[in-house]
Structure 1
Amino acid sequence: MPGLLPFNETLGETIPPNTPHAVSVSLPTWRSNIGYEEGESWVVDKMQCGYPRFFIHKSIEKLASSIIKQHGDTATDKAMLLPSHRCASRCSVFLKSQNPDIDPSRIRHLDFVPRQDHHDSHSSFVQPRVSAVIYPRDLWPTAKAFWQHTGEGISSRRADFCQRAFDEGQLVEASSARDSPPRVTKGPRRYQRVSVDLKNSAVVNGNGAAMDGVPPPDSAQFVEERFGRNLGTGLANQAKLAVRKRIAGSLTSAIELPDSLSHAEDLMRTRSRDVPGFSTDDVWLYPMGMNAIFHAHETLKSTLREAKSVMYGFPYVDTLKVLEKFGPGAIFYGHGSSHDLDDLESRLEGGEKILSLFCEFPGNPLLRTPDIKRIRALADKYDFAVVVDETIGNFLNVHVLPFADVLVSSLTKIFSGDCNVMGGCMVLNSHSKYYSRIRSHLEAEYEDTMFEEDSIYLERNSRDFVDRIQRVNVNAEVIADVLRAHPRVKQVNYPKYSESRHFYDECRLPDGGYGGLLSATFHEVEDAKIFYDHLDTQKGPSLGTNFTLSSPFVLLAHYGELEWAAQYGCEVSLIRFSVGLEDTEKLKEVFETALAAIPSQ
């Protein structure tokens, strides 16, 4: 496209650059975002990746195509890949329920497992496993909706892992697992290494030479590439434990495993989210944040009752979709106002029963904070669960667990920061009246579907989480002030300057800030376009990155429903900023330069 600034010649590239499993993709101009939404080839054909729930990674597409070639019809079938049999069953049920006229036999799912002779002798290793739902091509929109709304799909790292096993005959359809004739190859070498305890694993220097006389590990083994250190696949459980401890608040050390799990300073800590009786066992990991939300909803339906849920406040789009499509439906209060709570209280007083209320603390992209204390009081009086998404506020800035029955969060965001791995969590309030029922259900039904390699990256990325939050808080406040001072900016949305600030401050920790996310609405759409096109930051979907990431959020998330979004204050001229760790003065200059590009009236 003509007229692009030099730093905008990145259309379709991964964010971060040259990252095979990047979570974001460069959409560097206003027009490129429209082109993406319109499916224009000059945008779509250049995209190397996309946000994983909205864009099927090329590694996943490749594995799905390989499976269809062997087990389907390439002319009429597609495959949706899930991490387990139960996930695939849910996908099949959804496809059939949304398409009641389809012949049920045309939707089937297959489980792919290690060939028996391989599995029996290596049961302690990470094993290649994937389930495929094979369905008619014309049901693609429904299958894509399931993938997007639930977060049940496999990760691109799992796809790469399983692709190699599939190609070498080590990953086979379950019914043929015992009968598959052995091949000459012994399969992917990463499966063959002896699983060892972390304390005894070899450390390899940057040149690949072994230390302590131990041969260097296979290059295909799970690797923390930035540091030249190889971690064995048997370390995933330790990584997941460290992540859960970090979320619980009982692990703050920015040191490597296994020392971080037994660090003296952390062993003496008693914070643990400041809820008596709370422990690491109350933290449950999921492969992405949306999957944690989906399972929170499914768990409450199973343990409490079948009834409508409330979505309070303008939500991240898929949370509302989960409540609407996977149960009796939803009551939507998009303004998140006191009048909305008045209306809800009137309904409840009149005898209406609800299952739960979902809200974000604060909301995205308007950064409004719900009156969580009043919501808690209503829940106690009228017997419904409260689920709070704390992704934006995050638990180092705010303390909302006492007011929730369940917390959910996307670990993909600031917890990771590196924008190269997905993750999510559900946190239970041990003082909730529903705690024993929810806990018992999870102990019986929970599946750990986070891929092992993803957990290793997530643990590495999150070690300096505490230090990063403070820097991000400072930078975001500075950028909010820069935007507020410009006459062409209509409104800056940030918890510190929101009419709902007092609700945020009621839960803000003594050393907590107002977070790294903000948005600005311009008086004119044309001003927003000029500003965005001249803004020298990374530009694409997602948030919570260590670098500043900008996006015309309403345009990208609600392109087909702009009028609907506008009635709740989400105007098309809104640009969202996830502020990073850059030098404060340099970042301020970047924003001032882009603002200066707007012609004066």
Structure 2
Amino acid sequence: MPHSTPPENDVEVGESLPPQTAHAVSVSLPTWRANVGYEEGEEWVLSKMKTGYPRFFVHKIIQQLAADIAAKYGQKNEQAMLFPTPTTAGRCRDFILRTASELNSEQVRIVDLVPASEQERSAEFSVISPRVSAVLFPGTHFKVAKSFWQHSGDGVSSRRAEYCQSLFSKGLLVDSKETCTTPKMCKGPRRYRQKTSIDLTGSDTLPNGAENQDSAQFVEQRFGRNLDISQAKNAKLAIRRRIAGSLTANVGLIEALSLEKDAERTRDVPGFSEEDVYLYPCGMSAIFNGHRNMMSTKAPLKSIVYGFPYIDTLKIVEKFGPGAHFCGFGSQEELDDLEKRLEGGERFLALFTEFPGNPLLRSPDLERIRHLADKYDFYVVVDETIGNFINVNVLPYADAVVSSLTKVFSGDSNVMGGSLVLNPNSKNYNVLKRAWDEDYEDNHWAEDSIFLERNSRDFVSRIERTNANAEAICEVLRAHPRVKKVYYPKYSDTRPYYERCRNANGGYGGLLSATFYTKQDATDFFDNLDTVKGPSLGTNFTLSSPYVILAHYGELDWAASWGVEADLVRFSVGLEETSKLVGTFQRALNAITPS
């Protein structure tokens, strides 16, 4: 019997992905059994979880800060949920009180933690603005608070919590009611102490021998990267220009901001610029706040969710507004029905859709949707996370385009981010622009912005490579007799709608899914597939998961009723050498037990 090749990606259950990464956004669930065990709450899985996907698993750094704040400012058996501002915390508080009507306002309250002295608040931390707002509530209602955290995406990031924890433990972050005007001798973690201009124009990396300099201005030195906190504002500008398509060169931050705009990649909408790009803590926060802002411009109306969506998009529309009209197949027949409803007088706030959808990779008919929206006055919100604007241009059909920057835009699986783009050519632009101007808070933590800017510099070349690798994997899967169906935009019956939006040099993306004829086939294949396995997508390494088990375990029959099978396996294809990746998938297919 031939000797089998030992797996290269045998990562222990519960380990972060990438391994030993403090702020990783994925976690290893390496077998089918481990994924089911996680959903079932089995101790052998949960006890090993070092981390998890950040909106579903409150990072242990955040857990520790929340516990410390609750211990100091809370009452017996109270817990805390942490948010970046009083405003975001207030929305959580309102949600808890609305959902748990047995609680009163004294039982759910907010403590705003700020730097201890006025000098620190006004000068020392003017760039990074370290503060956190804690919602304190009875621990028995943790699930209610957690659902707001998950759906809204507005909770604090692990890096913000790490920074604030270091201040809080030294007594330098206190209840805003306790602040004083007397400067303290110690000004917080040493690496943050140096005051620098936010508009530094020098190099954004440490010169040789910089270890002898005052290293306070450098907030991170992970992965060999030295990050200058003074560059946070510039980093955010570069990110917004990349999302706008006007910055695509793989160069350092200072050079990037001096380049002429990339006219070939800028989104093809008259009058568009980075001024119409808004950053959020994560992609779901962009959707949550987009829905909330749009509701503020009209009378209470249901929204349409078109196509089988990522789970929280539907939950947001259902839980934080008048409700949803769900068109889960994303079919022309559903658009026919919608048109009849509109002709009959029904009115809606907005239509939310993904281009293409997750996990079935179907593409909506955006041209027809736009026509209906213009005729019957509802907004169109398109989530371009899977397609991404290098491959497709959906902005001409949308009032707003949202994306998770956590995914392929970052690639490194170590930072969260989201964006929302307004279409200046939309007839609704002025109304929406006013709503955003009045409401928008930039809550993307400065350190996260610096990581995201660094990670995204080569996003164009990475997307082109994952496009090619995904097509190669697609061909391997489609050729195997035990694979029931492969879901990929190139081979979907909705391909004509994708092609209508595909850029001249755009591909079909790095995400695909497959189903098998039996559960045993799916399990055999998955357990023998030598990639890392866990939640998230768009990583620079290939990442696989039994997606429906993870996302819809409590509603598998409901998902199946919309054509989403429980045993579907989803693949986010990475940057590995193509022939090696093809071999990895071929070996897993060969491991399927003969029937």
Alignment counterpart, residue 476 of structure 2, candidates 482, 491, 498: 482
Aligned CA distance change for structure 1 residues 582 and 383 (closer, same or farther; 3 Å): same
Give the whole-Å Cα distance in 1 for the aligned partners of 2:299 and 2:163.
Answer: 40
- 1:92 equivalent to 2:93? Answer yes
8 Å contact from structure 1 (residues 206, 228) kept in 2: no
1:361 aligned residue: 355
Gaps of 5+ in 2: 1-5
Aligned CA distance change for structure 1 residues 255 and 79 (closer, same or farther; 3 Å): same
- 1:251 equivalent to 2:252? Answer no
Name the % identity: 55
Alignment counterpart, residue 591 of structure 1, candidates 568, 580, 585: 585
Moved more, 4-13 or 529-538: 4-13
Quote the offset at 1:400 in angstroms.
0.7
Aligned CA distance change for structure 1 residues 466 and 203 (closer, same or farther; 3 Å): closer
- 1:534 equivalent to 2:534? Answer no
Alignment counterpart, residue 15 of structure 1, candidates 17, 39, 43: 17
- 1:226 equivalent to 2:223? Answer yes
Give the whole-Å Cα distance in 2 for the aligned partners of 1:373 and 1:125.
Answer: 43
SS in 1 for 2:393: coil
1:374 aligned residue: 368
TM-score (normalised: structure 1): 0.95
The aligned runs of 1:24-423 (5 Å cut-off) are 24-73=26-75, 75-117=76-118, 118-122=120-124, 124-178=126-180, 185-196=186-197, 197-200=199-202, 203-205=205-207, 208-209=210-211, 215-218=213-216, 221-223=218-220, 225-231=222-228, 233-263=229-259, 266-267=260-261, 269=263, 271-423=265-417
Quote the offset at 1:349 in angstroms.
0.6
- 1:574 equivalent to 2:568? Answer yes
SS in 1 for 2:424: coil
Moved more, 252-261 or 318-327: 252-261
8 Å contact from structure 1 (residues 12, 27) kept in 2: yes
Quote the offset at 1:494 in angstroms.
0.2
Deviations 1:387-443 (A, max 9, x none): 000000000001110000100000000000000000000001101111011111111
SS in 2 for 1:357: strand
Aligned CA distance change for structure 1 residues 289 and 268 (closer, same or farther; 3 Å): closer
Give the whole-Å Cα distance in 2 for the aligned partners of 1:277 and 1:502.
Answer: 28
Q: Counterpart amino acid of 2:218?
A: Q
Quote the offset at 1:216 in angstroms.
4.2
2:540 aligned residue: 546
SS in 2 for 1:599: coil
Aligned CA distance change for structure 1 residues 586 and 283 (closer, same or farther; 3 Å): same
Quote the offset at 1:351 in angstroms.
0.2
Quote the offset at 1:116 in angstroms.
2.2
8 Å contact from structure 1 (residues 204, 216) kept in 2: no
Quote the offset at 1:564 in angstroms.
0.6
Deviations 1:333-375 (A, max 9, x none): 1111111111111111100010000000000000001111111
> Following superposition, which runs of at least 4 residues in structure 1 exceed 6 angstroms of deviation?
none
Quote the offset at 1:491 in angstroms.
0.4
2:432 aligned residue: 438
Give the whole-Å Cα distance in 2 for the aligned partners of 1:502 and 1:359.
Answer: 17
Give the whole-Å Cα distance in 2 for the aligned partners of 1:386 and 1:125.
Answer: 35
8 Å contact from structure 2 (residues 392, 501) kept in 1: yes
The number of residues matched between the two structures is: 588
8 Å contact from structure 1 (residues 205, 229) kept in 2: no
8 Å contact from structure 1 (residues 217, 230) kept in 2: no
8 Å contact from structure 1 (residues 523, 573) kept in 2: no
Quote the offset at 1:562 in angstroms.
0.5
8 Å contact from structure 2 (residues 117, 183) kept in 1: no
Aligned CA distance change for structure 1 residues 123 and 57 (closer, same or farther; 3 Å): closer
Across the aligned residues of Structure 1 and Structure 2, the Cα RMSD in angstroms comes to 1.7
Deviations 1:11-35 (A, max 9, x none): 1100011110000000000000011
Gaps of 5+ in 1: none
8 Å contact from structure 1 (residues 491, 521) kept in 2: yes
Give the whole-Å Cα distance in 1 for the aligned partners of 2:202 and 2:456.
Answer: 23
1:561 aligned residue: 555
Q: Counterpart amino acid of 2:112?
A: D
8 Å contact from structure 1 (residues 521, 574) kept in 2: yes
Give the whole-Å Cα distance in 1 for the aligned partners of 2:186 and 2:484.
Answer: 64
Quote the offset at 1:184 in angstroms.
5.2
Q: Counterpart amino acid of 2:41?
A: G
Quote the offset at 1:104 in angstroms.
2.6
SS in 2 for 1:284: strand
Deviations 1:246-289 (A, max 9, x none): 010111111111111112xx336365201111111010010100
Q: Counterpart amino acid of 1:235?
A: Q
2:3 aligned residue: none
Q: Counterpart amino acid of 2:359?
A: P
Q: Counterpart amino acid of 2:235?
A: A
Give the whole-Å Cα distance in 1 for the aligned partners of 2:138 and 2:381.
Answer: 36
Give the whole-Å Cα distance in 1 for the aligned partners of 2:301 and 2:262.
Answer: 44
Give the whole-Å Cα distance in 2 for the aligned partners of 1:341 and 1:395.
Answer: 25
Quote the offset at 1:178 in angstroms.
2.0
